[in-house]
Structure 1
Amino acid sequence: MKAQVAPILLFSASIHCLGFNFAYESLQLTNDHILDFTAIQFGNASSAPKTYQGPRCKYQPGDPSWPSTSEWASLNASLNGHLLKPEPPGSACYPGPKYDADTCAFLVGPARATRFFLDDPLTSLVTWGEGATCLPMLNTTGRTCAQGGFPVYVVNASSVRDIQTAVNFARNRDIRLVIKNTGHDFIAKSTGRGSLSIWTHFLKGMEFLANYSTGEYVGAAARVSAGIEAWEAYNAMAIAGNFTVVVPLDPSVGYGGGWTLGGGHGPLASLYGLGADQVLSMNIVTAEGRFVTADLNQNRDLFFALRGGGGGTFGIVTSMMVKAWPKRTDISGVTYYFTTGPGQSTMSDSRGYPAVPPIHIPDPEVFWRAYRIYLTFADEIVNAGGFGFGDVTPQGPAGTTTYLFASTITIPGMSASSTKKFLDPLFSSYRAAGINLSTPDPATVLYAQRGAGVTPNSFPGASSDRLLITRLLPRRLWANNASEQLAAVAEVNRASAELGYRVTTRAYAPTAAAAGYPGDGAVNPAMRDMVVHCVTVKREAVDVLAPRELLVEHARLSARVDELRRLTPGGGAYFNEADRLEPGFQQSFWGKHYDRLLAVKRAVDPWGLFWVPTGVGSEDWEVVKAEGEMPTQDGPLCRIGGV
């Protein structure tokens, strides 16, 4: 299944004078390739109608205008055989010609500890967003398997030419187009019923450059391909030994794709900014099918939009040039736990730091007092360039008073002894609150730890496959005169936990100063003024729910987060961890940048080719679902208000 890819390279003394970063980018579509197949001819945004003139709905299988079998065969020939028509993996669990008991047992068991789902051309790790139309289950009684919200065809891209060919075909034939890398996607932007998918997963390449200059930037850099995942970047840094780049925390997240385009937070966010802040240039295929470079010297509006404006919206990134630091980065930190339930001797996730045994707190009031202490200390963490986790998980059904608080605090570039001194005030406050806990001895670990790209979130139905809503908590909550407001936030989170929701906090602050050059990106302004990224999560899997039940569960969750929204007027939310029904998403995700982003979108993509839920310009289209159902990707994509 793997397409031919570029190797992961490690080091180069200086940048090569090329118009592309990797060999696969030199293979481009030319007019000679389209002489016998005009369905893949290029578009021209400047001459396209200013108002949309296409069909109301993107064509679906069975429509009279759906491409014929011979047209798909011609497309496959133009793609050198890289066109796939895959079945949902879960089809092995359902009665019919694809049923295979052994394969089904593998899917619901051992496959979860492998890269099977990450390397599958269809799988989205958030199954409810696709429509949960073919769940891998041992007992499928009462359920069916259908293609549903999964793409019909997938282009296993091995070159820019493959991407250009697919873009042109989808645009010219009015077919829905989606883009997929790993499938890490909280609202299934990489799926779509009746769609053609461009799969960039196997475009692999990474190269460190000791000397690179562009505009005012002079320093180290790295070339990164579209298919590179965080674990591959960590491995490359570990082998090189003397370079650091900003990458996702979860090893299996697609670093070269949507993570960067939507913002991209990680362990170094308070120190160096977001993933989008690192970009010096991007190579992309536009909605016209053209291969262009966007940076501060050319295609500047597109360069602005791609750095935080959201993946799947403005074009398909094939590679990018990012800032690097010519040094190894170490991170010191601690992991500790509080629980109101029975004591536990070990915990499964300490993020690489020796975990202090969980402290049992019999009195729930003391537990929540400790939670408020952590929240109060969050601004100290981010001001030190750190990243903090502080997660409350109910340990029983709603209405119980058994909770677990799990926290990891990391400080890049700080020694273990300095980190302990830094944390002393926090743990002194805990002790003053009645918790017998000495300041733990921090450990120091490598930022770039080698791995194999398999994590607890690497399969459908994992902890990421949940309903969630995010809110960015602004710095003003931590001002001297705003302690009551912060206490009110803590009370809202407590009430959510008491109703059975998990409440996570990520303390990081990607300020404009941390972001540095080149600045002027489309990152949500609320992220420049935040201290905590708060996420409220329904712990139970929802992919087994009917769409109407799913909408009811969403309404309950949204009612909880509405209280946080009221406490943070003018605040925002994080696009990469989005609520499918985020109210006023234009303001929540992009604030003052939205009008400019929308203008760029309509200029570069007048056909509405690139569409993702809650993305820039998404208000012009909708996935048609029955009234009263949660909007998933299992439905035709149609223009709102007709043609």
Structure 2
Amino acid sequence: MYFFSSRAMLIGLLSTSSVQASTIDWEILNTTVQGRLHTAKPLASPCFSVYEGQPSPSDLASCTRIQKNYTSSDFRTQFYSGFSNSQDEICLARAADQCLLDNSVPTDVLAFGGNKSCGQGSVSPYYIDVQSVGDVQAAFNFASATGVSLSIKNSGHDYLGRSSLKGSLALWVRNLRDMSRNPAFVPEGCYGVEGTDTITTGAGVNSDEVYRFADQQNVTFVGGYATTIGVAGGWVQGGGHSVLSPVYGLGIDRTVQFKVVTPDGVFRVANSCQNQDLFWALKGGGGGTFGVVMEATHRVDPNTPLTVAYIKYSQNSANIGRWLEILVENGLQWAKQGWGGHYVASNIISVTPLLNLSEATASMEPAASFARSNNGSVVIEVLPSWYSFYIKYVIPNQAAVGTLRFLASRLIPASLLETTTGQAALLSFLNHLVAVGFSPYIPATAPYLFPYAANSTSATPAWRDSIWELGMGAGLAWNSTVAQRQATIDLQRNLTRMAEDLTPGGGSYFNEALPWTEDWRASWWGDNYPRLLEIKKSYDPHGLLKCWKCVGFEEQVANTSFPCFSAFGA
């Protein structure tokens, strides 16, 4: 990263940027945010000797450090330019507009040697290291005056390109990392309300940090399945599923207050007693849309023992079909028993707070018996807390980073598993996924047992009668061509249509859906969308906040605002 230490440096940097604003505009902004305006190049840029077609000395020491840590999410989250997934960093539609290493062998000179040019991609050339409400207000004023687009980023744990935007001014909130616990929290402006045990997290707090803090407080924070998920940002604002969600609800079910700067520059408190419309919108309407959340307050529960099942087998083409049958045949029963986890083609890692060891052993016997007869292994154990499960199972099994990976998903309603006809249709689709080269990925993370208050959140209502989120993700090589990307997207688009036909009237998880979902309004928000659009217009009438297929997207010019995604269709 670079700092604006002089006017001459600023002018030089402006000449390499596609952002259109005058030198004096940027100087005033930098002064207003007390020198926290910085420039950024892609993470791997120190390894390249050419940047944007011009000679640029490489930095061996920095390059070596980046290569060593290229696939570390914890390393990437330290930097504005560190994104978990490459589609957020590159310009998908322009193969030359990227600056990537080979994630499988980061030292491979084929990626960066010779005269390979490092392209800026979708990494914002300028970002503010946000430290205060005033920094955000200054950014909104700047965007309003100059027309420069804005983007919002914490750790960049994002699959839909929402935390980056080519040519934008980025608001990097990673350093808003305050945390506190209040065992009797009452939302501001609420009176005569019983206090709730909560943890308040700044916008930059990631899951690893809050899990550690919660464990020290002897409470459980319900969060995602990775170390660097921002718990106050896109994760919770898009719904926020967890392997604990079947019993404890989604992240949006547990958030009791947001503090947010809306695009009109007002710092607001949103909860059930004030700014209720904004509170509802933030509970499922999507991050980076209604304002910049500075902090969120989440309900927590006492630590409790969890029963865990880790079952794996030696997979081959002859036995995978039977394994998928077992998942389908037992999926509804497991949901009723509070099991939440990840079911994949070769194993199960699942957890429940509702069963003891003997009950869990009996529950998982169909899968365990199959695994033992197919050279597998079975571990069913009781761990003392969520944090112990997180350390033993989540950290070693979190998704890889530094890769180009598109997600696609569909929520699977419980009703589909209630009949033999529905089970057969679902199994047929799972077998089709295998036949076309996809490995079924099934997070059992829907809030099936959670006592939901109707209309209390704005995410798709389809969550409430579902048990699974069926994933159809696909990875591509760092040096894939635009044609290869298009072919993969087209295949996922077709699979998404098939999943929609399987689950008419259903929905999908906004944070893990195919970015090119066709009927995205219905799929991600259902009947909630019209109200969300009204709220968007009331707090952001000039459209200062925009991101790919976020609320209000249809009123933005897709081809000019999102050149790196729109080439593959809207």
The worse-fitting range, judged by mean Cα deviation, of 258-267 and 213-222 is 213-222
Partner residue, 1:12? none
Letter of the structure 1 residue corresponding to residue 211 of structure 2: Y
Where do 1:41-440 residues align within 5 Å?
61=17, 66-95=20-49, 96-113=55-72, 115-132=74-91, 133-137=98-102, 138-139=109-110, 140=112, 143-214=116-187, 218-241=195-218, 243-325=219-301, 327-341=302-316, 364-392=317-345, 405-424=346-365, 427=368, 430=370, 440=379
CA contact (8 A) 2:313 2:377 kept: no
CA contact (8 A) 1:623 1:632 kept: no
3-state SS in 2 of match to 1:197: strand
Deviations 1:409-457 (A, max 9, x none): 21125332332233235546x48x9768797543425202486998776
Shift of 1:275: 0.5
- TM-score when normalising by structure 2: 0.86
Percent of aligned pairs with the same residue?
26
CA–CA separation in structure 2 for the residues paired with 1:600 and 1:278: 22
Partner residue, 2:539? 604
TM-aligned CA distance change 1:336 to 1:210, over 3 Å: same
CA contact (8 A) 1:332 1:419 kept: yes
Partner residue, 2:564? 632
3-state SS in 2 of match to 1:544: coil
Shift of 1:572: 1.0
The worse-fitting range, judged by mean Cα deviation, of 120-129 and 301-310 is 120-129
CA–CA separation in structure 1 for the residues paired with 2:398 and 2:39: 26
3-state SS in 2 of match to 1:549: helix
CA contact (8 A) 2:140 2:265 kept: yes
CA–CA separation in structure 1 for the residues paired with 2:311 and 2:498: 29
Deviations 1:375-431 (A, max 9, x none): 221222222222032112xxxxxxxxxxxx121121125332332233235546x48
TM-aligned CA distance change 1:322 to 1:516, over 3 Å: farther
TM-aligned CA distance change 1:569 to 1:631, over 3 Å: farther
3-state SS in 1 of match to 2:427: helix
Shift of 1:294: 0.9
Aligned match of 2:463 in 506, 509, 527?
527
Partner residue, 1:476? 415
Letter of the structure 2 residue corresponding to residue 152 of structure 1: P
Letter of the structure 1 residue corresponding to residue 336 of structure 2: N
CA contact (8 A) 2:74 2:227 kept: no
CA contact (8 A) 1:285 1:315 kept: yes
Aligned match of 1:591 in 502, 526, 536?
526
- TM-score when normalising by structure 1: 0.77
Name the Cα RMSD after superposition.
3.0
CA–CA separation in structure 2 for the residues paired with 1:189 and 1:420: 42
The worse-fitting range, judged by mean Cα deviation, of 137-146 and 159-168 is 137-146
CA contact (8 A) 1:423 1:439 kept: no
3-state SS in 2 of match to 1:186: coil
CA–CA separation in structure 1 for the residues paired with 2:363 and 2:62: 52
Shift of 1:218: 3.4
Shift of 1:475: 1.3
Deviations 1:541-570 (A, max 9, x none): 244223343112210222233222211111
CA–CA separation in structure 2 for the residues paired with 1:284 and 1:614: 21
CA–CA separation in structure 2 for the residues paired with 1:577 and 1:210: 33
CA contact (8 A) 2:162 2:288 kept: yes
Partner residue, 1:489? 426
Deviations 1:22-48 (A, max 9, x none): xxxxxxxxxxxxxxxxxxxxxxxxxxx
Deviations 1:300-348 (A, max 9, x none): 11111000110011111101122122x212221121212334xxxxxxx
Deviations 1:28-84 (A, max 9, x none): xxxxxxxxxxxxxxxxxxxxxxxxxxxxxxxx9557xx2222221111111011111
CA contact (8 A) 1:265 1:274 kept: yes
3-state SS in 2 of match to 1:304: helix
Partner residue, 1:467? 406
Gaps of 5+ in 1: 4-59, 342-363, 393-404
3-state SS in 2 of match to 1:255: coil
Shift of 1:264: 0.4
Deviations 1:486-514 (A, max 9, x none): 22222222222222222201113314x61
Letter of the structure 1 residue corresponding to residue 225 of structure 2: L
TM-aligned CA distance change 1:231 to 1:439, over 3 Å: closer
The worse-fitting range, judged by mean Cα deviation, of 122-131 and 551-560 is 122-131
CA contact (8 A) 2:73 2:228 kept: no
Partner residue, 1:446? 385
Shift of 1:589: 0.3
Shift of 1:588: 0.4
Shift of 1:621: 1.9
CA–CA separation in structure 2 for the residues paired with 1:218 and 1:622: 45
3-state SS in 2 of match to 1:448: helix
Shift of 1:105: 3.5
Partner residue, 1:397? none
Which one has the bigger helix percentage?
Answer: 2
Shift of 1:460: 4.5
Gaps of 5+ in 2: 4-15, 50-54, 92-97, 103-108
Letter of the structure 2 residue corresponding to residue 380 of structure 1: Q
